[in-house]
Copies of this chain bind each other. A is one copy, B any other.
Amino acid sequence: MAVTANAKQAKNIKSLLAIQSEVKGSNRIALSVDCVIFGFDENKLKVLLIRSDLKKYQSKWSLLGDIVGYQEDLDTAAYRILKQRTGLDDVYLEQVHTFGAVGRHPAGRVVTVTYCSLINIRHHKLKILDNELHWHDVMSVTDLAFDHQQIFSACYQWLQKRIQEHPLGFNLLQKKFSLRDLQNLYEAILNTKLDRRNFRKKFFSMDFLLDIGEMEQDVPHRPGKLYKFNYEKFEKKKKKWIGIDF
């Protein structure tokens, strides 16, 4: 019995040397990074898409991505893509999921690591302004190229969940924002209506909003106060955890 087990082990468990040979061998796979870049404009959640350039395959919209260099960290690759496409380099970026089904890409075996990025659509002023690169309403994104629809859906769901337990939404707003801006953002992302009074109470009680003593300018109604998010305070007070619930 022990012998059988060891025999099985010998067959199944690879030594580091064996791995080393495989690393140099034929199992090497192309690795890409795809970025789901979210923006917020006119109270709508947007996603940045590019048109697949090769009509021969499909002229559908797709996510922004590129092959990871052999000497390039994954995170670095994601930042590079963002920088190239938006001109911004100080942006929120978080890895979400890796998609690696064998037939997912027409160019061959490509495993893709997906990142979500949240950028301020006003700040960035797309460096590449032509009809190949466009902001799309999240609610009307359908039929993306390759498996990008699946990837996009996963990332959108991730965002909906993540925004409720982590303060990343602020990256989509101006540094100074009104509570109405913030609520509009949450309503757009969660695709629901929220009670204005309870929404305020919730955020004030969390106590991370910094009243900067300024008011909105040039609004066609009574101007609201402007706030900043206090990241330092958040880092200190961060919740340990929540409570069992499913």
Instruction: Please indicate the chain B residues that have their CB under 8 angstroms from the CB of A53 in the complex.
Output: 13, 15-16
A246: contacting residue among B16, B30, B71, B239, CB under 8 A: B239
**Contact among B28, B70, B113, B244 for A98, CB-based, below 8 A:** B113
For A9, list chain B residues within 8 Å (CB). 128, 130, 132
User: Which residues from chain B contact A223 at a C-beta distance below 8 Å?
Assistant: none
Contacting pair B2 A130 (CB below 8 A)? yes
- B-contacting residues, A189-246, CB 8 Å: 190, 202-203, 206, 234, 238-239, 241-246
B-contact bits for A103-124, CB 8 A (1 contact / 0 none) = 0011111110100000000000
CB of A12 within 8 A of chain B?
Answer: yes
Question: Given A16-B107, A54-B16 in contact, is the A160-B241 Cβ separation under 8 Å?
Answer: yes
- In the complex, the answer to whether B28 meets A22 with C-beta atoms within 8 Å is no
Residue pair A109, B12 in contact (C-beta under 8 Å): no
User: Is the pair B241, A190 in contact by a Cβ cutoff of 8 Å?
Assistant: yes
B190:A24 contact, CB within 8 angstroms: no
Whether A72 and B102, one on each chain, are in contact in the complex, defined by CB atoms closer than 8 angstroms, is yes
> Cβ of B29 and Cβ of A27 under 8 Å apart?
no
How far does the alpha carbon of A164 sit from the alpha carbon of B240 in the complex, in Å? Answer: 12
B8, A128: Cβ atoms closer than 8 Å = yes
A140 within 8 A of B: no
Q: Tell me if B26 and A30 are in contact (CB < 8 A).
A: no
Q: Quote the shortest CB–CB distance from A124 to chain B (angstroms).
A: 13
Please, could you name 12 A-B residue pairs with CB atoms under 8 Å apart, sorted by A?
Answer: A6-B128, A19-B107, A23-B109, A27-B68, A28-B29, A28-B70, A68-B100, A70-B109, A74-B98, A164-B243, A165-B244, A203-B244
Give me 5 other A-B pairs in contact (C-beta within 8 A), A19-B110, A29-B68, A206-B245 excluded: A19-B66, A19-B67, A27-B67, A29-B29, A98-B113
